[in-house]
C-alpha cells in the first residue's frame, strides 16, 4: 500500500520578481518579504516530519528550503530537474524590454504554450520542462513514502502539477502562476492523487 504526501513550495519573492525580470536558471536574492514568507511557512509546518526534502539547486530555492526547515537538520537533496524553465539569453532581462524584440514569443509562451518555440534565444520548450519534471515526480512516487517537501520554481512546479493532473501542454497556465511560497499539497494513494491544498498562501497573508 503506497501512501505519500507531496508538498510543493515555490521560492520566496526575489529582487528580480519585484523588478519583473526573467530569472529562469539565473538567480537573485530573496527580498525581506521573501524571507518573511518562507519563515511563516516554516512556522506553519514546524510539527511536520519530512521523510525527504528536495530542492532546485538555485540560490533562491535553497535559501527558501532552509528557512522553511527552520531548526530541522535533515539534508536538502538538490535535483537539477527541479530548476526553473530555461529562457536562454533572455534571462536577467526585464520583461518590458523583451516586448520590443521577443514580444510575440513571450505572448505565445503564456497563451499558446503548445506552439511556444524558444529556439531563437536558446530557451527550453515546454516538452523539455515537462519531461524532466515528470521524471522527477515518477521517481518520487516509486521510491519515497511519508511526507516529501519539494521547493522549486513557479513554472517547474506548475509542470509537476500538470503531470499530476494529466494536463496537456495547452492547459499549462489554466490555473495561474504559482505564487511565491504558496503551498500545494497532494496525497498519493495507490495510483490516485488527492489535491489537499492548492496555491495556499494563508500562512503569510
Catalytic residue list = 11, 84
Burial of 53: CB neighbours in 10 Å, binned 0-12, 13-18, 19+: buried
Strand order in the sheet with 76-78: 76-78, 52-55, 146-152, 3-10, 183-189, 192-200
Strand 146-152 and strand 52-55: the pairing is parallel
Instruction: DSSP letter for 13, please.
Output: P
Q: Which of 77, 177, 80, 174 is nearest to 135 (CA)?
A: 80
Q: Which grid cell sits at 46?
A: 514546524
In angstroms, what CA-CA distances link 110 with 17, 29, 191?
17, 25, 30
Amino acid at each position: 500500500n503506497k501512501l505519500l504526501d507531496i508538498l510543493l513550495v515555490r521560492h520566496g519573492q526575489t529582487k528580480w520578481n519585484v523588478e519583473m525580470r526573467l530569472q529562469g536558471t539565473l538567480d537573485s536574492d530573496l527580498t525581506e518579504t521573501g524571507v518573511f514568507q518562507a519563515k511563516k511557512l516554516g512556522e506553519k509546518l514546524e510539527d511536520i516530519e519530512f521523510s525527504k526534502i528536495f530542492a532546485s539547486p538555485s540560490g533562491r530555492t535553497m535559501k527558501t528550503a532552509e528557512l522553511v526547515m527552520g531548526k530541522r537538520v535533515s539534508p536538502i537533496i538538490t535535483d537539477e530537474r527541479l530548476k526553473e524553465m530555461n529562457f536562454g539569453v533572455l534571462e536577467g532581462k526585464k520583461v518590458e524590454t523583451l516586448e520590443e524584440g521577443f514580444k510575440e514569443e513571450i505572448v505565445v509562451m503564456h497563451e499558446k504554450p503548445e506552439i511556444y518555440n524558444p529556439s531563437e534565444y536558446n530557451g527550453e520548450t515546454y516538452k523539455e520542462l515537462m519531461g524532466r519534471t515528470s521524471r522527477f515526480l515518477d521517481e518520487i512516487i516509486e521510491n519515497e513514502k511519508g511526507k516529501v517537501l519539494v521547493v522549486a520554481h513557479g513554472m517547474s512546479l506548475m509542470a509537476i502539477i500538470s503531470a499530476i493532473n494529466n494536463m496537456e501542454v495547452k492547459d499549462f497556465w489554466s490555473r495561474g502562476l504559482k505564487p511565491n511560497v504558496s503551498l500545494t499539497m497532494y496525497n498519493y494513494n495507490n495510483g490516485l492523487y488527492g489535491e489537499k491544498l492548492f496555491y495556499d498562501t494563508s500562512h503569510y497573508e
